[in-house]
Structure 1
Amino acid sequence: MTFYDREAELDALETAFESPGHEFYVVYGRRRVGKTELLKEFCGEQPHLYFLASQEAESRQREKFVEKVADYFDDRVPRIDGWDDAFDYLGEKLAAEPLIVVIDEFPYLVEENDSLPSYLQSFVDERLQDTESMLALCGSSVSTMESEILAHESPLYGRRTGQIDLQPFSFQQAREAIAYDFEDAIRSYAVTGGTPMYLTLFDYTQPLAENIQTEVLSPTAVLYNEPEFLLRTELRNPARYMSILEAVATGHTTPNEIAGATGIDSGPLSKYLQTLRRLRLIDREVPVTASAKQSKRSRYLVADEFLRFWFRFVEPNRSSIEEAPAVVYNNTIEPNLPDYVATTFEDVCREAVWAAIRRDEHELGPYSEVGRWWYGEDEIDIVGLAPDDDRVLLAECKWTTEPVGYSLATTLQDNAEQVRWGPNARDEEFALFSKSGFVDGLAEELDDNWSLFSLAEMDTLLSPAS
C-alpha cells in the first residue's frame, strides 16, 4: 500500500530513536488507520525486529517471538519457559546492539496472558533502560492499549517515553490519495472517511457510483462487513452499540432521540455512549460558545465518515443489498447522497477556515475556537471565537446546485444576533462557502467584513502551501 503523509508521526519516532538513551513508544488507534504502515516506514533501513502477534496459544506466541529474536541475531533458538525468560533473552541481545523492537497487535498477547504487562515492566526497568534501543508496542484494540499500558493501574504506567494515538486523515490529508477533482473528492471522502486502507480501495479512474457499488455494496467486498469486524475488535456483544450507531447515523443525535430510536433506557444508554466515545466511534458535540462539561445541549455524531455512510445506507438495507445492490444504490443512496455529503462539506469548510487562519496572507481570523452553534431552532454552520480580540466569525456552508445569493447573507446576518457571546460592541466577520458559487454582484454588494469561498478557493486553501 502506498504510504501517505504522517510526517509529524515519523519525525517524532525518528527523533526519539536518534536521541540518547532508551525509548518506549506506544502506537495505537483503530483498525486500518495505518499503524503498521507507519512503523514499517519508520523502521525502513534502521536495524529493527518486527514481531506480529496472532490469536493463538500463548506457548506458540512465545516460541515465535523467541525464534524471531534468534533469527535476527543469527543465534541458535534457546529453550524458553516463560515470557520473563523470553524478555531476558531479548535484553541480553540489546545490551550489545541498539535495535528497534516492534511488537504489533500487542492485545493478542495480553488476551492469552494478562500478566504480560508485568513482564514487560521488568524488561523496561531492568534491561531496556540501560540500552540505546527502542521498544514500540502497537495495537488496534484501543481499550486494551489504554487499560494495559497507558492507564494508571497498569504495571507499565509511567514507563513510556512517548505515544502516538493515530487518527484517520482529515480531508486535507486524505486529498493526496483521492485522485478525483475537488468536488468529487469531497463526495468520495464522505464515503471512505480518512482511514488509509479504505481510501486506497477505491479505483479513482472509475466513477464514485461504481466504487460504492463495487467496494461497499458488494457482499464479497472488504468494506461490506468492515464495521462489524471493527466493533468486534473492541466489544464482546456489539448488537446494542450497532443500534446506537445506526440511530445516530440516521439523524437521532440527542440522548432522548437515541433512546427513542433504540429502545434503550437513559441509564444504560449513557454508559453505551461513553464507551463509544472512548473507542472514538462517536463524538459528543456542544455549541462552540458553550462549556463542554456543563452544557446540556449536546449532540452525538458518528466520528468517522465511512461508519456514518455504512450505518446510514448499508446496515438498514442489508437484505435488499444482498438481493439487488444496484437498486439500493439507484433508489436509496444516490437520491439522498447530496444531503448526506452536505454534512461532510461543513467539516471540510471548517478545515478551510483553519487553513485560512494558518495562512498569514489571508484576511480571515485568527480564531482560537471554531465549531457549530445552535440554540433551539436557530443554527449556524460555523462560528469562530477570538476572545482576546472580542471578535466572532459566522459562516454558512451550502452544498447545493444553485449559486448562493443575497438571502443567505441576510439570514446569516440576522442569526448573528442570536449568538450571545462577547460584548455588545464585538467585531463580527462573516463568510459563505458554496459548492455552486455565488450570484453575480454578491461580492460587490457585501462589505469588507465578508469572505466568499467557492470550491476553487477552498481547493487552493487546502492544497499544500507553495
Structure 2
Amino acid sequence: MSPSDVSRPAKPKTVFDRDAEWDALVAFAGDTRPGPGLGVVSGRLRQGKTYLLKTLTAALGGFYFGAQSATQAESLRRLADELSQFAGTMPPTPWHDWGEAVDALLALGDRRPVPIVIDEFPDLVRQSPPLPSAIHRAYRRLRETDPDNRARLVLSGSTLPVMHRLFSAASPLRELTDLQLTLRPLDYRQAARLWNIDDPRLALLVHAVVGGTPAYWGYGGERAPGGPDDFDAWVCKTVLNPRTPLFLEAHHLLQEETDHWDRALCHSALAAIASGCSTQGEIAEHLGAPLTDAARCLALLRDNGLLHGEPDAFRPNLIRLRITEPLLAFEHAAVWSRRSALEQQGGDEVWRRMRPVFDSAVVGPHFARICRDWVMDFADPAVFGARPATAAYGSLADPTRRAGPDTQAEVVVRGPTGTRPSALLSVGAARWDQVMDLHHLEQLRHLLDLLAAHGEDVAHTRPACYSGVGFTSALRAAEANGHVVLVDLDRLYRGT
C-alpha cells in the first residue's frame, strides 16, 4: 500500500489555517512504508506548535510528551509514567538512560505507523547532551534489526539555535530526518482572518501591534476592535493593560528567547532598531557599546529569530536589520520608555501621547514591510513583468544634495537573474499616512536617473506607489497610462 492509499484525517476546525503544515504532518505520520521515520518541527514561541502536534496525535492515536526543564532522572520518570498510561501497562522498571527510553518509544511503531511526539526537545538535550546520539544509535540499530518498524518520531522545539545545531548538515540526526517543518507566524492576510477583521486599515493597525502570532488572539481576549474608531480603546484594554497577558508579553518573549544573556543590552538594541537604526554600526553607536558587544547581541537576536537581516537593495554589502515580531517593535518604539507612566497613570492618558510615535515609528515602517510581503506573496508576476526574487529597502547617496539623508525606496523589487545585481523590476515609495501625487512619481523617476548613472539597467523598471490613504486623480491617470503601479490597502489585502 502506498502512502496515498492511507485514509488521512481532515484537519480539525479548531486548528486555524496551517493547511500545508497539517497535510505534511499527516502524510509523514501515516506513511505505511517500512522503516522508522524522523520528523523535525521548529518555530518561535506562540506559533501553535504544541496545539498542532497534540491535535495530530489525538487524530492518529499517537503519543505526545511535553518536555520541561528538569533533571534527566525526573524527565525519564515522567516519560515512563505517561507512556505506561498511553499503552495501558504497568510502569516499566526505571530507565537508567535515554537509550532505554528511546527504544521503548520506538517500539510503539512495531505494528503500525504511529506518531510519537517529543515537544520542546531542546529542554531535554540541555540536561542530557547524549540524547541525540542515543536516538541516532537507536535508528541505526532498528534499520538493521527491525526494518518493519514504522515509528514516526517527531522532535519539536522553539529554541531555534539549538534546533538548528541539532539538525544542521553536520549533525548525524540530519541524515535520518524525513520531514523538516517550520511553523512561522501567519501572514498579514491570514492574521486578518484570524481576528475576523474585514477593514484593511484596521487589519493593518492590529497587525502592526500583534503581528501574525496565533497565541496573541487568545491573549487579546479573542476580540478584535469593533472598527477603526475602536482601535485606540482596544490597545488600551489589551497591550497597555497590566491585567492582560499581552502587557508583559514582549518582556517574557525576550526573556525566554535569549535565555540568560544580557537582556538589558538586548532591550536597548531593539529600542535602537525601533527608533530607526538599521545597521550594526548605527546600533553600536546608539548603544554607546563596543562593536563586538553589539555584534554578539545582534547575532543572538538573529539566531533566535527576533531579528532579520537583509542586504540593502542598492548596496548589497550593507546589511539592514529589522525586528521580526511586531509586538517587540511596538514595545520598543512606543512603550518601553513609558512603562512606569503606564503603571501610574493608566493606558488612556499615556496612549494619547504615544499615538504619534506609534503612527510614525511603528505603523509607517510596518506598512512598508507589508507592501514588500505583498510583492513576494500575492502580487501577480505580470505586475512587475516577471516573478520577483526579492523585495527590499534600498538607499542611495544623491550627489545633487550637498547634505541630508540618502534617497530611498521602501519597496525595491528585483527579478531572478544570474547577474549581480539582478534585474531591477520596480522601485517603490510607501506612504502610510499620505495621499500620493505626481511629485512622488517624480521622486521615483529621479531615483531611477541616479541608478542609471550608477550603471543599473532601468529601461524596464516600473515605478510603484503604495499608500495607506490613497492617490490623487492625476496619479490615477498616470496609472491608466501605464506610467506607475499603484497599490492601496484594498489591493494589499484583496488584490494581486
Q: CA deviation at 1:106?
A: 1.4
Deviation at 1:212, TM superposition (A): 1.9
Q: Which residue of 2 aligns with 1:164?
A: 181
1:316 to 337, 340, 348: 337
Q: Is the 8 A contact 1:106 1:137 kept in 2?
A: yes
Distance in 1 (CA, whole Å) between partners of 2:124 and 2:297 is 27
Answer yes or no: is 1:384 the counterpart of 2:413: yes
1:210 is aligned to 2:242: no
Contact 2:275 2:333 in 1 (8 A): yes
Conserved? CA contact 1:253–1:301, under 8 Å: yes
Aligned counterpart in structure 1 of residue 115 of structure 2, from 84, 92, 100: 100
CA distance in 1, matches of 2:108, 2:38: 17
1:436-447 correspondence to structure 2 within 5 Å = 436-446=469-479, 447=481
Contact 1:349 1:433 in 2 (8 A): yes
Cα pair 2:43 2:182 within 8 Å, conserved: yes
- Would you say the 8 A contact 1:281–1:303 is kept in 2? yes
Q: Show the counterpart of 1:398.
A: 431
Equivalent-residue separation in structure 1 for 2:292 and 2:270 (angstroms)? 17
Are the structure 2 counterparts of residues 424 and 48 from structure 1 closer, same or farther at C-alpha, using a change threshold of 3 Å?
closer
Give, as a single letter, the amino acid of the residue that structure 2 aligns with 1:12.
A
Quickly say closer, same or farther: Cα 1:103–1:186, change in 2 above 3 A: same
Is the partner of 2:59 in helix, strand or coil? coil
Letter in 1 for 2:437: G
**Structure 1: gaps (5+ residues):** none
8 Å CA contact retained: 1:428, 1:449:
no
Match of 1:141 in 2: 159
Contact residue 352 and residue 461 of structure 1 kept, 8 A:
no
CA distance in 1, matches of 2:458, 2:411: 21
**What is the identity percentage for the equivalent residue pairs of Structure 1 and Structure 2?**
24
Query: Residue in 2 aligned with 1:418?
Result: 450
Deviations 1:207-232 (A, max 9, x none): 22233222222223212222332233
Question: What residue in structure 2 maps to residue 460 of structure 1?
Answer: 494
Aligned to 1:330: 351
TM-aligned CA distance change 1:176 to 1:423, over 3 Å: same
Q: Deviations 1:310-361 (Å, cap 9, x if unpaired)?
A: 111222222111112325543332222221211111122122223554466x
Superposed displacement of residue 436, structure 1: 1.8
In 2: Cα distance, 1:134 partner to 1:240 partner: 42
Q: Distance in 2 between matches of 1:250 and 1:423?
A: 31
After TM superposition, the score normalised by the length of structure 1 is 0.90
TM-score (norm 2): 0.85
Matches of 1:152 and 1:191, distance apart in 2: 36
Whole-angstrom CA distance in 2 between matches of 1:425 and 1:440: 26
3-state SS of paired residue (1:55): coil
Contact 1:396 1:433 in 2 (8 A): yes
- Deviation per CA, 1:101-146: give whole Å up to 9, x if none: 0011112222322222222222222237832221011112112222
Q: Is the 8 A contact 1:215 1:224 kept in 2?
A: yes
Sort the Cα spacing of 1:210 and 1:457 in 2 relative to 1 into closer, same or farther, 3 A.
same
Match of 1:259, as an amino acid? A
Residues 252-305 of structure 1 show CA distances to partners (whole Å, capped at 9, x for unaligned) of 2222321122221012222222221111111223222443xxx0x332211211
Aligned to 1:345: 367
- Aligned residue runs from structure 1 range 24-173, under 5 A: 24-82=38-96, 83-127=98-142, 130=147, 131-147=149-165, 149-151=166-168, 154-173=171-190
Write the distance in 2 (CA, Å) between the matches of 1:33 and 1:208.
Answer: 24
Q: Secondary structure at the match of 1:419?
A: helix
Structure 2: where are the runs of 5+ without partners? 1-12, 398-405
Aligned partner (choices 383, 387, 392) of residue 366 of structure 1: 387
Q: Does the 8 A contact of 1:50 with 1:104 survive in 2?
A: yes
Q: CA deviation at 1:439?
A: 1.4
Tell me which moved more, 98-107 or 334-343. Answer: 334-343
* Distance in 1 between residues matched to 2:349 and 2:334, nearest whole Å: 9
Alpha-carbon RMSD: 2.5
- The one-letter amino acid of 2:471's match is F
Evaluate the alpha carbon distance shift between residue 166 and residue 328 of structure 1 in structure 2; reply closer, same or farther with a 3 A threshold: farther
CA contact (8 A) 2:39 2:177 kept: yes
Provide the rounded CA distance (Å) in 1 between the counterparts of 2:492 and 2:354.
26
Q: How does 1:213-292 map to 2 (within 5 A)?
A: 213-233=236-256, 234-237=258-261, 238-291=263-316
**CA distance 1:252–1:356, change in 2 (3 Å):** closer
Query: Amino acid of the residue matched to residue 23 of structure 2?
Result: D
What letter matches 1:262 in structure 2? L
In the alignment, is residue 427 of structure 1 matched against residue 496 of structure 2?
no
8 A Cα contact 1:54 1:108, kept in partner:
yes
User: How far apart, CA to CA, are the structure 2 residues paired with 1:359 and 1:190?
Assistant: 27
Per-residue deviation at 1:90? 2.5
1:184 is displaced (CA, Å) by 0.5
Residues in 2 aligned to 1:212 and 1:6: alpha-carbon distance in whole angstroms: 27
1:189 aligns with 2:207: yes
Q: Are the structure 2 counterparts of residues 365 and 52 from structure 1 closer, same or farther at C-alpha, using a change threshold of 3 Å? A: same
Distance (whole Å) between structure 2 residues aligned to residue 87 and residue 455 of structure 1: 52
Residue 488 of structure 2 is aligned to residue 451 of structure 1: no
Aligned CA distance change for structure 1 residues 391 and 252 (closer, same or farther; 3 Å): closer
Cα separation, 2, equivalents of 1:198 and 1:254: 30
Distance in 2 of aligned mates of 1:302 and 1:345: 14
Query: How far, CA to CA, are the matches of 2:182 and 2:260 in structure 1?
Result: 23
The answer to whether residue 371 in structure 2 is matched with residue 354 in structure 1 is no
**Alpha carbons of 1:330 and 1:318: their partners in 2 closer, same or farther (altered >3 Å)?**
closer
**Structure 1 stretch displaced more, 182-191 or 338-347:** 338-347
- Conserved 8 A contact 2:125-2:131: yes
In the TM superposition, residue 374 of structure 1 has moved relative to its aligned partner by: 0.7
Find the aligned partners of 1:84 and 1:355 in 2 and give their Cα distance. 44
1:435–1:60 distance in 2 versus 1, CA, 3 Å: same
Q: Is the 8 A contact 1:390 1:426 kept in 2?
A: no
